[in-house]
Each structure stands twice: as C-alpha cells, then as structure tokens.
C-alpha cells in the first residue's frame, strides 16, 4: 500500500469494555459497550456511513448555497441469525434546507443528485459495506513478545 491510500487507527484498552481510538493526526474518542456515553462500535459504523455521505453531499450542495439546516440520521437493525451478528435495513436520511433565492434553488436541485452520487460511487464507507470487503484478524507481536 502506498502512503496516499493507507489508512489506520489504533485502539487502546483503558478498562474492561472501554477503549480509546486514535488517528494518526492526534484525534481520539472513547469507544465502549454502551454502558456509558461512549460510542459503541455499531454506532461508529452508523456514524461512519452517515459522516462519509454527509461530507460528500455538503461539499457538492454548499458550492451553490450554504445550508440553513443540515442533519443526517442513520438507522438500522442489529440482528443475530445463522450468519452471526450484523446490521440490516441501513438507512441514511437527510434533512437539509437552503435559503430562498436562486442559489438555494440550485442547491435544492443538486441535493438528490449529490445523495445518489455519494451512494453510488463517492462514499468509501458505504461502498465498502455494500460491496463487502473481507476483514482479516491477525495477532501482531506485542511489546512484551520476542
């Protein structure tokens, strides 16, 4: 992998069921089991899908007009079946309003196309989920291993 395509995060255990995830730029957030205010891994998946497509749609539409209101709600059902635990019925719902006037009209007109472009080709996260990418789990040499 080249440096322009490689992405990574590090997750460190802070206590049973509690972790801190860090990126290479110094950002961090709490991840846990949902027994406190920290995000669960499933919530992070939903946030990643919604955040990715929100960024795409925002960049496309805000070239025309700054939104007066912009929220994204991502939902799904966590199920357990013969395939194991997984999410289904994932839905990304945009609530966006633009100011009155020609620029707002242009942004409103661009919104459905921007959402479709994000879904069909731009959002790396939802494209990865929909296309299905294998995930490998390996043990790395730790600090106290030879």
Other C-beta atoms within 10 Å of 99: how many?
12
Q: Please check whether residues 53 and 63 belong to one and the same domain.
A: yes
Question: In percent, how much of the chain has pLDDT > 90?
Answer: 92
Query: Which pLDDT value is given to residue 59?
Result: 98
SS3 9: strand
Q: Please check whether residues 58 and 88 belong to one and the same domain.
A: yes
Other C-beta atoms within 10 Å of 72: how many?
20
Q: What are the pLDDT digits (tens) for 123-137?
A: 999 999 999 999 999
Q: What are the pLDDT digits (tens) for 1-58?
A: 578 999 999 999 999 999 999 999 999 999 999 999 999 999 999 999 999 999 999 9
Look at the chain and report how many structural domains it folds into: 2
Q: Please check whether residues 55 and 120 belong to one and the same domain.
A: yes
Among candidates 31, 100, 98, which has minimal Cα distance to 69? Answer: 98
- 114, two tokens: 């921007």
Q: Please check whether residues 35 and 46 belong to one and the same domain.
A: no
Domain enclosing residue 124, as ranges? 40-131
Whole-model pTM?
A: 0.91
Q: Please check whether residues 33 and 45 belong to one and the same domain.
A: no
């Amino acid at each position: 992998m080249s440096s322009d395509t490689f992405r990574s995060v590090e997750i460190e255990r802070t206590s049973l069921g509690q972790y801190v995830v860090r990126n290479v730029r110094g950002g961090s957030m709490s991840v846990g089991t949902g027994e406190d205010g920290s995000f669960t891994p499933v919530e992070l998946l939903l946030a990643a899908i919604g955040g990715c497509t929100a960024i795409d749609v925002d960049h496309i539409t805000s070239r025309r007009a700054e939104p007066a209101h912009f929220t994204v709600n991502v939902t799904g059902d966590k199920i357990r079946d013969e395939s194991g635990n997984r999410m289904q019925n994932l839905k990304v719902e945009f609530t966006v309003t633009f100011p009155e006037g020609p620029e707002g009209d242009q942004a409103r007109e661009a919104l459905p196309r921007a959402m479709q472009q994000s879904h069909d080709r731009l959002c790396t996260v939802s494209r990865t989920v929909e296309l299905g990418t294998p995930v490998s789990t390996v043990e790395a040499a730790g600090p106290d291993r030879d």
